[in-house]
Amino acid sequence: MLNLVIFGAPGSGKGTQSEKLIEKYNLAHISTGDVLRGEIKKGSDLGKSAKQYIDKGQLVPDDVIIGMLAEELETKKDKAGVIFDGFPRTLAQGEALDKMLKEKGQEVSAVICLDVDDAELVKRLLQRGRTDDNLDTIKSRLEVYKNQTSPLMDYYQKAGKTAHIKGVGSVDEIFEKISQAVDKTK
């Protein structure tokens, strides 16, 4: 099983590159951001609670996300692996993912880190214009990324699982570099 984590700051292109990876490698796609936006659209209790965090640029609490991820993972069984897009985002989430995969006799195969500087991230997100893509919220999201999410990179680096890819250039050029990194893990 190919279990890929796609890692990077908000707007680094995780969702964009995941779309291409799922097609090329026949992977299931779990985007915690997409699942949360789906819940918001449905107006569920989970969605109502998540919206308050997302609108402020904060992370949704770990227990909510980990429970949601476990449920999603159970529905993805008929593919060659899974791409985890936007999850994990904290050390607790990373440890929970390892535990869930271990119970299935699996592990994270590789962590693709998309490196993009802040000015480019802000430009992309303002252009995208989702409700959480306004300047104040973007600033909070970048802070949260630095303080809460980037420490997780050390965890994966120590495990020898990271591949750093420059996430600037055309989507196809970046995808080519990611594919080379993925092929090395197979």
Residues at the site binding ligand B4P, with contacts judged by CB under 6 A: 8, 10-16, 32-33, 36, 53-54, 59-60, 65, 86-87, 89, 93, 124, 128, 141, 171, 174
Rounded to the nearest whole angstrom, what is the least distance from the CB of residue 31 to ligand B4P in the complex? 6
Cβ proximity to ligand B4P: between 2 and 30 the closer is: 30
Q: Look up tokens 């965890």; give the residue.
A: 155
What is the identity of the amino acid at 110? A
Query: Cβ of residue 7: shortest distance to ligand B4P, in angstroms?
Result: 9
Distance of closest approach, residue 183 Cβ to ligand B4P, in angstroms: 20
Q: What is the rounded distance in angstroms from the CA atom of residue 91 to the CA atom of residue 80?
A: 26
Q: How many CA atoms lie within 13 A of 121 on its CB side?
A: 22
**Least CB distance from residue 97 to ligand B4P, whole Å?**
10
Nearer to ligand B4P, 110 or 114 (CB): 114
Residues contacting 84, CB < 8 A, separation 6+: 3, 4, 5, 6, 30, 97
Residue nearest to ligand B4P (CB): 33
**Are the CB atoms for 69 and 97 separated by under 8 Å?**
yes
